[in-house]
């Protein structure tokens, strides 16, 4: 029986991905665990492992194809002893629409397979054990019911995210979790499982309820039905925009996944989070001299390079983390049902990469030494540029740092990246004349602006956080105790 290799959902919210590269060609023998292909997801390139054994009979989707719908067959594997040539591609959907400008939220791609008749998501059947087209894939994406609280227009069907748990369709979820999810209208596949081997258990559904902690992060690419009713001002249609420019005076660069995600998330953030901004000036002289002292003591490694070289940003990350622990009421995430008060300070750090940016998270930054933070950021930055970060490395966090100081930007305000409640925009350290004890003096100063989610953190509280941050920055030795 030939086995269809399906486009995997490698990230929880992935609906489509780009088939970056085939690592096997037709005729190659494949063992379970072999890397078949590289798939470009939202923000990362990930390897796709084979689950079954066999010979690649046919590659259906050539490498370099963009926007391949999850669960679309991408290759056919002939089982041991089967005639490779006679293997036919199992019935599959043609590649989904590929014009990214056509519609920002396409209706779900035509179900790749006839429905199995189940209404609660894929059942226990495994695609690889399929007997016929009937069961040859997980249940097709279905528009799922809107929650009663949802104000969304019913005709906008939700693209069903694909099951992700084991890369070939089956969702591991407890019976109770399935039933709870059905009762509250949450599509179980969108719930992040925390049980054994990622099994979705009741508490995960509780957390994903409207106002619960979250659906699978990163925030879904489309506003989820759990979002409060927001009627966005409709942007003008693409053709109307194009009409404003002379034909031939521009070229159209299709959006890649990262661009789409950035656009969707930031629109969501600005439309749902009431931002306000607090700016403070920090004197950096002590920090700069501490940094220098620490950096000169770095032993040389075998390659002759110093073992560490702390940046000002490493201090900023640590200072913000400690400030959040000192002002725990500001170390929070807003949810409709209650405030998530975090026990650790997980700090996202915006890293610019070609084509966009990504925010890897330094976990428990308050517990880490500056050297550890610095090493972690170097590793994150390198892997971010290679698009090799894992989803769990850039999801979550309670605050973030965005630093444009190196571009000479004096001050700016950043957009909060949910589920964070704050983000600190850090400007350049600039030498200024200041008045100290009635006399003019020189000082290197930096401006930092905290964008704050007013639902979660009020003005005075935000100011307290900023003040605590300033204290750590200006007395950096306090960070060492």
Partner 1 sequence: MAESFDIVIIGSGPGGYVTAIRAAQLGFRTAIIERAYLGGICLNWGCIPTKALLRSAEIFHYMQHAKDYGLAAEKPSYDAAAVVKRSRGVSKRLNDGVGFLMKKNKVSVIWGEAAIEAPGKVTVRSANAEAPKGALGPGTYEAKHIIIATGARPRLLPGIEPDQKLVWTYFEAMVPERMPKSLLVIGSGAIGIEFASFYRTFGTELTVVEVLPQILPVEDAEIAGLARKAFEKQGIKIFTGAKVTRLDKKPDSVTATIDDGKGGTQTLTVERVISAVGVTGNVENLGLERLGVKIDRGAIEIDGYGRTNVRGIYAIGDVAGPPLLAHKAEHEGVVCVEAIKGLKPHPLDKLKIPGCTYCAPQIASVGLTEAAAKEKKLDIRVGRFPFIGNGKAIALGEDQGLVKVIFEKTTGQLLGAHMIGAEVTELIQGYVVAMNLETTEEELMHTVFPHPTLSEMMKEAVLDAYGRVLNM
Tell me the catalytic residues. Answer: 454
Alpha-carbon distance of 377 to 389, in angstroms, equals 12
Which structure tokens are listed for 329? 């009421």
Q: Report the nearest approach of partner 1 to the CB of residue 183 (Å).
A: 7
Strands 399-403 and 422-436: parallel
Number of residues that bind partner 1 (CB under 8 A): 11
Q: What are phi and psi of 413, to 5 degrees?
A: -125, 135
The residue among 91 and 198 lying less far from partner 1, judged by its C-beta, is: 198
Q: Report the nearest approach of partner 1 to the CB of residue 176 (Å).
A: 4
Q: Which residues contact 13 (CB under 8 A, 6 or more apart)?
A: 42, 161, 190, 216, 218, 219, 220, 221
The residue among 14 and 201 lying less far from partner 1, judged by its C-beta, is: 201
Site string for partner 1, 197-226 (x = CB under 8 A): ----xx------------------------
Q: Report the nearest approach of partner 1 to the CB of residue 250 (Å).
A: 49
Q: Which residues contact 151 (CB under 8 A, 6 or more apart)?
A: 228, 229, 230, 231
Site string for partner 1, 333-352 (x = CB under 8 A): --------------------
The residue among 133 and 195 lying less far from partner 1, judged by its C-beta, is: 195
Task: Give the interface segment with partner 1, choosing from 15-23, 195-203, 369-377, 469-477 (CB under 8 A).
Answer: 195-203
Alpha-carbon distance of 441 to 458, in angstroms, equals 35
The residue among 174 and 279 lying less far from partner 1, judged by its C-beta, is: 174
Estimate to the nearest angstrom the gap between the alpha carbon of 259 and the chain centroid. Answer: 12
Strands of the sheet containing 3-6, edge to edge, are 3-6, 73-78, 54-59, 29-30
Q: Report the nearest approach of partner 1 to the CB of residue 188 (Å).
A: 13
Site for partner 1 in 170-189 (CB under 8 A): 174-177, 179-180, 183
What residue has token string 């084991």? 166
Task: Give the interface segment with partner 1, choosing from 169-177, 209-217, 295-303, 375-383 (CB under 8 A).
Answer: 169-177
Is 118 an interacting residue with respect to partner 1 (CB under 8 A)? no
Which structure tokens are listed for 324? 């959040």
- Residue of 88, 98, 129, 194 that binds partner 1 (CB under 8 A): 194
Estimate to the nearest angstrom the gap between the alpha carbon of 264 and the chain centroid. Answer: 12
Q: What angle do CA 408, 412, 416 make, to 5 degrees?
A: 130
Q: Report the nearest approach of partner 1 to the CB of residue 25 (Å).
A: 39
The DSSP secondary-structure symbol of 307 reads S
The residue among 182 and 378 lying less far from partner 1, judged by its C-beta, is: 182
The residue among 202 and 267 lying less far from partner 1, judged by its C-beta, is: 202
The residue among 162 and 180 lying less far from partner 1, judged by its C-beta, is: 180
Give the chain's largest Cα–Cα span.
90
Alpha-carbon distance of 227 to 231, in angstroms, equals 11
Q: Report the nearest approach of partner 1 to the CB of residue 88 (Å).
A: 37
Q: Report the nearest approach of partner 1 to the CB of residue 102 (Å).
A: 41
Which structure tokens are listed for 278? 């607090």
Site for partner 1 in 14-43 (CB under 8 A): none
Strand, helix or coil at 287?
Answer: helix
Closest CA to 231 of 150, 352, 323: 150
Burial class (CB within 10 angstroms; exposed 0-12, middle 13-18, buried 19+) of 127: buried
Closest CA to 357 of 333, 387, 378, 390: 387
Q: Report the nearest approach of partner 1 to the CB of residue 125 (Å).
A: 17
Alpha-carbon distance of 33 to 400, in angstroms, equals 36
Strand, helix or coil at 354?
Answer: coil
User: 109 near 72, Cβ under 8 Å?
Assistant: yes
The residue among 130 and 331 lying less far from partner 1, judged by its C-beta, is: 331
The residue among 307 and 480 lying less far from partner 1, judged by its C-beta, is: 480
User: 21 near 38, Cβ under 8 Å?
Assistant: yes
Q: Report the nearest approach of partner 1 to the CB of residue 436 (Å).
A: 39
Residues of this chain that interact with partner 1 (CB under 8 A) are 174-177, 179-180, 183, 194-195, 201-202
């Amino acid at each position: 029986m030939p086995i269809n290799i399906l486009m995997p959902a490698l990230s929880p919210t992935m609906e489509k991905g780009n088939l970056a590269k085939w690592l096997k060609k037709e005729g190659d023998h494949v063992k379970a665990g072999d890397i078949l292909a590289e798939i470009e997801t939202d923000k990362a390139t990930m390897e796709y492992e084979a689950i079954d054994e066999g010979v690649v009979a046919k590659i259906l989707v050539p490498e370099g194809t963009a926007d391949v719908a999850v669960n679309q067959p991408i290759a056919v594997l002939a089982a041991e002893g089967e005639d490779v040539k006679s293997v036919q591609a199992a019935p599959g959907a043609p590649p989904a629409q590929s014009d990214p400008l056509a519609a920002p939220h396409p209706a779900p791609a035509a179900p790749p397979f006839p429905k199995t008749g189940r209404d609660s998501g894929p059942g226990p059947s495994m695609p690889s054990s399929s007997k016929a087209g009937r069961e040859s894939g997980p249940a097709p994406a279905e528009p799922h019911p809107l929650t009663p609280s949802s104000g969304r227009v019913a005709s906008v069907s939700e693209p069903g995210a694909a099951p992700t748990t084991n890369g070939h369709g089956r969702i591991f979820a407890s019976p109770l979790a399935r039933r709870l999810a059905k009762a509250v209208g949450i599509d179980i596949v969108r719930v992040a499982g925390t049980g054994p081997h990622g099994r979705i258990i009741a508490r995960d559904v509780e957390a994903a309820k409207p106002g619960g902690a979250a659906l699978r992060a990163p925030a879904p690419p489309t506003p989820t039905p759990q979002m409060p009713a927001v009627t966005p001002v409709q942007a003008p249609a693409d053709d109307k925009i194009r009409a404003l420019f002379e034909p031939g005076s521009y070229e159209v660069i299709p959006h890649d996944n990262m661009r789409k995600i950035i656009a969707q998330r930031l629109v969501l953030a600005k439309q749902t989070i009431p931002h306000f901004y607090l700016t403070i000036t920090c004197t950096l002289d002590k920090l700069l001299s501490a940094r220098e002292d620490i950096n000169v003591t770095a032993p040389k490694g075998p390659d002759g390079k110093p073992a560490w070289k702390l940046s000002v940003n490493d201090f900023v990350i640590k200072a913000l983390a400690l400030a959040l622990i000192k002002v725990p009421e500001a170390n929070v995430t807003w949810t409709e049902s209650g405030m998530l008060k975090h026990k650790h300070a997980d700090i996202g750090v915006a890293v610019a990469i070609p084509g966009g940016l990504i925010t890897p998270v330094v976990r428990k930054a308050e517990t880490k030494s500056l050297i550890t933070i610095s090493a972690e950021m170097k590793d994150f930055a390198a892997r971010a540029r290679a698009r090799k970060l894992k989803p769990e490395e850039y999801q979550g966090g309670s605050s973030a740092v965005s630093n444009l100081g190196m571009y000479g930007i004096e001050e700016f305000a950043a957009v909060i990246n949910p589920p964070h409640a704050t983000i600190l925009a850090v400007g350049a350290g600039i030498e200024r004349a200041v008045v100290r004890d009635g006399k003019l003096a020189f000082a290197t100063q930096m401006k930092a602006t905290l964008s704050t989610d007013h639902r979660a953190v009020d003005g005075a509280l935000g100011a307290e956080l900023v003040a605590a941050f300033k204290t750590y920055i200006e007395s950096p030795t306090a960070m060492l105790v």
